[in-house]
C-alpha cells in the first residue's frame, strides 16, 4: 500500500494552456442520481476550461452514456469483479498514468478506495464526493466504512458532500477539518424541469391522463436502498380502503432493477396491475415528472436526491421518507410531507392527505422558486468549476 502525507490544503494547479483534464471515477455508469451529476458536470462545465474521462469500475450502460453530449469524452468500463479492490489497483494505476489527468474525482466509497492509485500516479488534485450511503450502511453507522474513510482520506485533498447530513458525518465521525469539506447540493435544470402547462403532451406510452387520473409516482433505480415496494404496498392499502374517487388513483414507478418483479407482484396480487405503469428507464424524465400529480421518494437512505429536486422544480406535491438529506431539502416538512422510514401505513396516510388535500399543503409554487434560487444548475456548476480549478 503506498503511503502519502495527510493533505490539509489543496495544491494550486498551474494556469493550463490546455483544458484541465478530469477523470471521474464511479462504481458504474448507468441511470442514477450520482451518475446524472457526472453527466451534468461533463455537459455543463466550459469545454474551453475542462476536458473529461469517465471511468466505471464495473459496467457502462451504453444508452445512459449517450446523455453525454460533449464530443471527445471517453467512457471506460473496467469490469471489476465482486470483492476487494486491490486486484484492480495495477490497472487503475496504469490507466491514470496513461490518461495523465489534472484532477481525480472519485464518487462514493467504492471509488474512494482507488485514491491511493491516483496519489501514486501523481494526479495533482484529488477530490472525493459523497453522494449517499450504501445499502449495507444506510445511516453511516457502519464502523468498517468509517475506518475505510479515515484511512483513505489521507490520499484526498478536498471532499464534496451533497447534504447537510453527509457534511456533518465527514466532520464529526470521520474527523475531517471544515476547510477540506464542501457542501454542494446536486443541481437541477429548472428550465427543463418545470410544471405542467396547457398544451403540453404526455410522454410516449404513458397510459394515464390528466382529466381522469390522479397519478402518484417515483423515478429511480429499483434497488433495495430505494425501496419502491414500500410505495406499491402503500398505494395498494390506499386503494383497498376505498375512499371516494379511489378509481382515479394510478401508480407510476420509473426505472430498472431487481425490485421491478416485486413491485409488479404486489400490484398483481392486489388485482391492481392495470393501474401500474412500470416502463423501465426513460430518457424523458422531465416530461414524465410533469405528467405526475404527486412524487414519492420511499428510500431507506438518501444523500440529496436529484430526482426529488427535479420533482420540486416540476411543481409536484412531495412525500418522502424522513432519512438522509430529505428533511433538509423539504425544510422538515414545510416543502413536502415526511413519513417514518419503511412505514407503509404512514405513507398510505400521507398519500391520502395529499390526494384529498386535507388541510394546508406545502406551496408548490414556492417550492419551485426555492429550487430556482438555491438549486439551479448554473450555481452548482460554478462551485464545481472553482473546486476543479484548484
Of all residues in the chain, what percent carry a pLDDT higher than 70? 95
Residue 6: its pLDDT value, please? 45
pLDDT, averaged across the chain: 93
Q: Which one is the CATH code of 20-187+375-388: 3.40.50.2000, 1.10.3720.10, 3.20.20.70, 3.60.21.10? A: 3.40.50.2000
| Alpha carbon of residue 161 to chain centroid | 12
Tell me the fold of 214-374. Rossmann fold (3.40.50)
CB 238, CB 351: distance < 8 Å: yes
**φ, ψ for residue 325, nearest 5 deg:** -85, 0
Burial of 372 (0-12, 13-18, 19+ CB in 10 A): middle
If residue 287 lies in a helix (H) or strand (E), which one and from where to where? helix 285-291
pLDDT in tens, 269-296: 999 999 999 999 999 999 999 999 999 9
Cα dist from 242 to 235, 239, 248, 249, whole Å: 11, 5, 11, 11
One fold for 20-187+375-388 and 214-374: yes
9 pLDDT above the threshold of 70: no
pLDDT in tens, 223-253: 999 999 999 999 999 999 988 899 999 999 9
CB 32, CB 369: distance < 8 Å: no
311 pLDDT above the threshold of 60: yes
Domain map (residue ranges) of the chain: 20-187+375-388, 214-374
Of all residues in the chain, what percent carry a pLDDT higher than 90? 85
d(CA 312, CA 339): 17
Residue 3: its pLDDT value, please? 44
Residue 4: its pLDDT value, please? 45
Cα dist from 31 to 16, 35, 77, 135, 257, whole Å: 33, 6, 15, 17, 10
pLDDT in tens, 60-79: 999 999 999 999 999 999 99
Amino acid at each position: 500500500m503506498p503511503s502519502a502525507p495527510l493533505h490539509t490544503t489543496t495544491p494550486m494547479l498551474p494556469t493550463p494552456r490546455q483544458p484541465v483534464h478530469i477523470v471521474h471515477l464511479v462504481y458504474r455508469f448507468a441511470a442514477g442520481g450520482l451518475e446524472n451529476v457526472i453527466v451534468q458536470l461533463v455537459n455543463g462545465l466550459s469545454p474551453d476550461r475542462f476536458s473529461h474521462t469517465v471511468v466505471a469500475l464495473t459496467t457502462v450502460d451504453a444508452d445512459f452514456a449517450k446523455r453525454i453530449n460533449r464530443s471527445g469524452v471517453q467512457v471506460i468500463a473496467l469490469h471489476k469483479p465482486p470483492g476487494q479492490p486491490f486486484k484492480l489497483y495495477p490497472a487503475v494505476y496504469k490507466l491514470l498514468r496513461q490518461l495523465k489527468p489534472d484532477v481525480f474525482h472519485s464518487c462514493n466509497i467504492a471509488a474512494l478506495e482507488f485514491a491511493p492509485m491516483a496519489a501514486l500516479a501523481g494526479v495533482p488534485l484529488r477530490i472525493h464526493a459523497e453522494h449517499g450511503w450504501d445499502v449495507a450502511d444506510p445511516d453511516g453507522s457502519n464502523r468498517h466504512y468509517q475506518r475505510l474513510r479515515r484511512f483513505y482520506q489521507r490520499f484526498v485533498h478536498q471532499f464534496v458532500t451533497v447534504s447537510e447530513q453527509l457534511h456533518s458525518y465527514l466532520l464529526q465521525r470521520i474527523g475531517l477539518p471544515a476547510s477540506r469539506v464542501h457542501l454542494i447540493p446536486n443541481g437541477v435544470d429548472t428550465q427543463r424541469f418545470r410544471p405542467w402547462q396547457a398544451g403540453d403532451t404526455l410522454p410516449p406510452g404513458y397510459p394515464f391522463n390528466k382529466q381522469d387520473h390522479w397519478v402518484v409516482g417515483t423515478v429511480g433505480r429499483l434497488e433495495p436502498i430505494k425501496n419502491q415496494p414500500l410505495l406499491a404496498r402503500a398505494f395498494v392499502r390506499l386503494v383497498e380502503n376505498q375512499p371516494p374517487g379511489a378509481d382515479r388513483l394510478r401508480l407510476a414507478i420509473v426505472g430498472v432493477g431487481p425490485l421491478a418483479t416485486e413491485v409488479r407482484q404486489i400490484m398483481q396480487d392486489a388485482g391492481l396491475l392495470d393501474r401500474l405503469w412500470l416502463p423501465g428507464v426513460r430518457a424523458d424524465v422531465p416530461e414524465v415528472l410533469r405528467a405526475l400529480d404527486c412524487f414519492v421518494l420511499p428510500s431507506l437512505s438518501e444523500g440529496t436526491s436529484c430526482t426529488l429536486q427535479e420533482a420540486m422544480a416540476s411543481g409536484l406535491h412531495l412525500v418522502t421518507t424522513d432519512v438522509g438529506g430529505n428533511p433538509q431539502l423539504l425544510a422538515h416538512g414545510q416543502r413536502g410531507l415526511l413519513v417514518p422510514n419503511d412505514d407503509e401505513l404512514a405513507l398510505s396516510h400521507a398519500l391520502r392527505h395529499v390526494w384529498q388535500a386535507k388541510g394546508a399543503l406545502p406551496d408548490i409554487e414556492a417550492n419551485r422558486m426555492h429550487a430556482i434560487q438555491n438549486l439551479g444548475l448554473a450555481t452548482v456548476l460554478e462551485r464545481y468549476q472553482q473546486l476543479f480549478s484548484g
